[in-house]
Amino acid sequence: MNKSLILAAALTAATALTSPAFAQTVLRVDEVAVGELDPAKASDYADSILMFNVYDTLVLPRQGGPGYDPHLAGSWEADGANYTFTLRDDVTFQSGNPLRAADVVYSLERMQEIGQGLSHLFTGVTAEAVDEHTVRFTLDEPYAPFVASLVRLPIVDQVLVAENATEDDPWAEGYLSGNAAGSGAYTVTSHNPQDVTVMALNEGYFLPINDAAPDQVRLRYSLEAATVRTLLSQGEHDIASQWLPPEVIRALAADGAQLFTESGTGAFYVKMNTQRAPLDDVNCRLALSHAFDYGTALQMVAINEEVSSGSAPTGAIPVGMYGSNPAEMALERDMDAARAYLEACPYDPADFNLEISWIAEVPLEERFALLMQANFAELGISSSIETLPWALFTERVASPENTPHISQIFVNAVTGDPDTLLFGMYHSSTPGTWQSPEYLADDQVDAALEAGRRGPGEEDREAAYAALNERLMELAPTIYGYDRQSVFAASDRVNAPALSDPAMAFGVDGMGFSFRLMEMTE
C-alpha cells in the first residue's frame, strides 16, 4: 500500500515535470499522526502545516511584527461588528475555479456546521456575499481579535466541494479528508493520515514563488525519534518535528544540524482534571503546583547555551501577551507552601494515586512525568505513569471520568491572539477537548475570558486578561510549566527564513512551515 502510494506520487510528480532536465527538489519533514486534511477540522500542528500550504486565508499575520496583512483579501474595512473584505480577483483554486465571495461564505458555514477543529473561533459569525468579490462578516457580539481569527479560516472551493457532496455527506467530509480543494501553494499528490502526505508545488499559485522553494514535500507521520535522528544524520531527512527530545536535538546540533525556532506564543501546561477527586479540590491542586520543580523543568528543555525550548513561566499567560506578568515574577518551587496546601486538602495523600499521563509521541513528557512523580512523592503522594498515544488521548478526554488526573499539553495561541490560547482551555463552554482536560467551570474565569475577547480597546483587553491570570493562579487548574518556543533540527539543504530570522517570523504556530517561503540549497 505504502510503496504503491509512493510510487504513484513519484509517477505523478515525474509526469508533472515540464522539463526532465531539472531535478526536482524534495523537502522531507515529519510530524505526529493524524494528519487531518479537512481544513474545517484542522486543529493541531500537523493539521496546521497541511492547512497553511494547501489552503489560503483572507489575511496573514505580518512577518516580524504585530498586525495582519491582506492575502486572499485585497483590503478590508471594520465598522463595529461588521467587517467588509474585498477579495483579490486574480486568485484561482487548484481546480481552476476562480475565487468568489460565495466560497468564503461557504467555507465559514461548512466549518460552523461541522463544528470541529477551531470552529469555536467563529461562533456567532455570519457572512454574506455582497457581490462577486465582496464579503461581509457580521458578528453577534464584538470580538476584538476577529481579524486575527481569520488566519484559521481556510477558504475552500465551493464548486468542487459541492460536486463531491452527497445526501449522507452534505459537506463532502469524506472527499476533503483525502483530497484538497484549496488555492494554496501546494497541491496534495497523495495523503495517508497515518503515514505520509506528499505535496507538490502549485504552478498556478496567485503569488510569485521563489524558484528555490521545494518542488515536492513529503510530510511523514509519527516517526520514531531514533529514526529521525538517523535519517537526518544520513542526509535523508530535512526538518525534524519539534517533538524530538532535547538530547536528540542536542546531538544533531553537535553533528552540524541547524536549529530552527518558532514562537507561537504558547506554553507547556500540566493540566489537572478538576472534576476528579482529589484534584477537584483547589488546595490539593495548589499543593501540586507548588511542588513542581520549575527550575529543573527549564534545565531539561535547554538545547545549548543559546537555544532553549523554554523560558521561566510567570503565570497562566505567557510573557509578552495581554495580561501576562513581567518576566521577573518567575514561578518557583516552594515545598513549604506545598505542604501547607496539602494540609488544607481534604483528601488523604496516601490515597491519592494520581494518574500522570504523557503523550507517547512526545518522549520529553515521559521525563516530566517522572519529575512530577518524584516531586509529588516528596509530599507523600503516590502516582502512576500512563502512556497515551495522541489519538487515544484525544478520545479519552471527551469525558471527565476517562480523562487522566494529569495531562501534559503544549498549547499555542492558534491565531497569535491570547483569546485563542485561553478561551479554548478555560471557558466552561469548551470542556473535554485536548486543550481543556481540566474541565474547569468558573464564573469569574468565564467573565474575564468574555471581557477579553469583547475588548474593544487594548487597555480593556489588558485588564481583562490580567484579572483572568490572577484568577487562574488562585484556582490552579494547571501547572504552568514554562513559556515555550518550538525548536526544530534541520539539515543544511534547506533555508527557512520564517523559522530562523525573527524579522520574518509569523508568530502563529505552524505558519513557519509555509513551504513556499523555504529555499532548498541543493
Partner 1 sequence: MTRALRIIAANPLSLTGLILVLAIVLAALFAPWIAPFPTHNSAVVDFAYANSAPNGRNWMGTDLVGRDIFSRILYAYRISLGLGIVVLIIATPIGTIVGLLAGYLGGWTESVLMRLVDVFLSIPPLVLAIAVLGVLEPTLTNAMIAVTVMWWPWYARLVYSIARSEREEGYVLAAEVIGAPTTHIAFREILPNCLPAIITKMTLDMGFVIIIASSLSFLGLGVQPPTPDLGSMVAEGARYLPDSWWMTVFPGLAILFAVFGFNLLGDGLRDVLGADE
CB of 273 to partner 1, least distance (A): 18
Residue 239 DSSP class? B
86 part of the interface to partner 1, by CB under 8 A: no
Task: Please state the closest distance from residue 478 (CB atom) to partner 1, in A.
Answer: 22
Shortest distance (Å) from residue 494 CB to partner 1: 23
**Given 28, 41, 218, 229, the residue binding partner 1 (CB under 8 A):** 229
Residues 6 or more apart whose Cβ sits within 8 Å of residue 114: 38, 40, 41, 171, 173
Q: Which is nearer to partner 1, 9 or 32 (CB)?
A: 32
Is 387 a binder of partner 1 (CB under 8 A)? yes
Residue 51: alpha-carbon gap to chain centroid: 11
Three-state secondary structure readout of 416-479? CCHHHHHHHHHCCCCCCCCCCCCCCCCHHHHHHHHHHHHCCCHHHHHHHHHHHHHHHHHHCCEE
Number of residues that bind partner 1 (CB under 8 A): 27
Alpha helices in 178-245, H assignment, sequence order: 225-233
Binding status of residue 177 toward partner 1 by CB under 8 A:
no
Distance CA 455, CA 468 (A): 14
* Inter-residue long-range contacts of 248-251, CB under 8 Å, 24+ positions, other chains counted: 248/489, 249/303, 249/487, 249/489, 250/303, 250/304
Asked if 304 contacts 249 with a C-beta cutoff of 8 angstroms, the reply is no
Only segment of 42-50, 221-229, 343-351, 514-522 that touches partner 1 (CB under 8 A):
221-229
Angle between helices 364-377 and 294-301 (to 10 degrees): 160
- Which secondary structure element, helix H or strand E, spans residue 259, and what is its range? strand 258-272
Only segment of 3-11, 83-91, 317-325, 378-386 that touches partner 1 (CB under 8 A): 378-386
Contact status: 302 vs partner 1 (CB under 8 A): no
Binder among 385, 391, 451, 463 for partner 1 (CB under 8 A):
385
Which range, of 162-170, 362-370, 466-474, 511-519, touches partner 1 by CB under 8 A? 362-370
Per CB under 8 A, which region of 305-313, 366-374, 406-414, 507-515 contacts partner 1? Answer: 366-374
Q: Which residue has the cell 486543550?
A: 435
Site string for partner 1, 230-269 (x = CB under 8 A): x--------------x-xx--x------------------
The minimum distance between CB 315 and partner 1, in angstroms, equals: 24
* 512 touching partner 1, by CB under 8 A: no
Site for partner 1 (CB under 8 A): which residue of 277, 370, 392, 398?
370
Instruction: Note whether 391 binds partner 1 by CB under 8 A.
Output: no
Give the distance, in angstroms, between the CA of residue 213 and the centroid of all CA atoms in the same chain. 24
Q: In the chain, what are the helix, strand and coil shares in percent, each to the nearest 5?
A: 35, 20, 45
Of the pair 235, 456, the CB lying nearest partner 1 is at 235
Residue 252 is placed in which grid cell? 544533531
Among 299, 304, 399, 521, binds partner 1 (CB under 8 A): 299
* Residue with Cβ nearer partner 1 (107 or 491): 491
For the beta carbon of residue 115, count every other beta carbon within 10 angstroms. 11
Peptide bond into 456 cis (omega under 30): yes
Task: Name which of 357 and 412 has its Cβ closer to partner 1.
Answer: 357
Using rule CB under 8 A, residue 367 touches partner 1: yes
What is the binding site for partner 1 (CB under 8 A)?
A: 224-226, 229-230, 245, 247-248, 251, 296, 299-300, 360, 363, 366-367, 369-371, 373-374, 377, 383-387
